[in-house]
């Protein structure tokens, strides 16, 4: 039986992968992610997901490793995790009344047989126009400092989200549809 490892500290990714019914373990990659806001977000998430997967796969060569990285992209810049409440507020103001893209890079590695699959998934999110009381109400309800773009679509979306297109789970942090397809291709049916 192939051992499945998730190279991510994200509790949301852990929950989403568990929903697919796979037995897996979490091994957090000890890497420094590239988070330069001006980098092409597709390049950034591909780089970071591969960095995580490669680090874990080097330590567990027989395991199938999943690395993932997600960011929010608007105005030619990535909005990664906010450093503090002020930055989270600024991100929500920037997203207010606009459409942005959420990119996730997926990297699958199994060194024992040379398996290497990299995929990129994009979804779009339309934000409602947010006034200051709405932003404050949202931040009072949702811990946003560990979330790209300073928000979580799965928590109190009625306050901030008008609509989305594409994979909802991609916006959360792990596109389960694509993940399931790739794991099946790798010989791990759900």
Tell me the backbone φ, ψ of residue 114, rounded to 5 degrees.
Answer: 75, 15
Domains of the chain: 4-185 (3.90.950.10)
Q: Supply the pLDDT for residue 76.
A: 87
Q: Supply the pLDDT for residue 2.
A: 83
| Helix or strand run (H / E) with residue 159 | helix 157-160
Question: Has this prediction a pTM greater than 0.85?
Answer: yes
Catalytic residue among 40, 69, 118, 126: 69
Q: Supply the pLDDT for residue 190.
A: 67
Length of the chain: 190
69 assigned to active site: yes
Q: Supply the pLDDT for residue 1.
A: 72
Q: Supply the pLDDT for residue 103.
A: 96
Burial profile 84-95: b = 16 or more Cβ within 10 angstroms, e = fewer: eeebbbebbebb
- The residues of the chain scoring below 70 in pLDDT are 190
């Amino acid at each position: 039986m192939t051992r499945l490892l998730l190279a991510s500290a994200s509790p949301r990714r852990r929950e989403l992968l568990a929903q697919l019914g796979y037995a897996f373990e979490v091994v957090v990659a000890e890497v420094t992610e590239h988070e330069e806001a001006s980098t092409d977000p597709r390049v950034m998430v591909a780089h970071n997901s591969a960095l995580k997967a490669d680090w874990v796969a080097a330590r567990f060569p027989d395991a199938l490793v999943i690395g993932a990285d997600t960011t929010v992209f608007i105005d030619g810049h990535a909005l990664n995790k906010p450093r503090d409440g002020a930055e989270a507020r600024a991100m929500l103001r920037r997203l207010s009344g606009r459409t942005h893209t959420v990119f996730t890079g997926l990297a699958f590695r199994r060194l024992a047989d040379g398996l290497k699959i990299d995929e990129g998934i994009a979804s779009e999110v339309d934000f409602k126009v947010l006034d200051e009381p709405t932003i404050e109400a949202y931040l009072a309800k949702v811990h946003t400092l560990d979330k790209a773009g300073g928000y979580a679509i799965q928590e109190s979306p009625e306050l901030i989200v008008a609509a989305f297109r594409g994979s909802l789970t991609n916006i959360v942090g792990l596109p389960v549809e694509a993940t399931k397809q790739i794991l099946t291709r790798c010989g791990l049916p759900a």
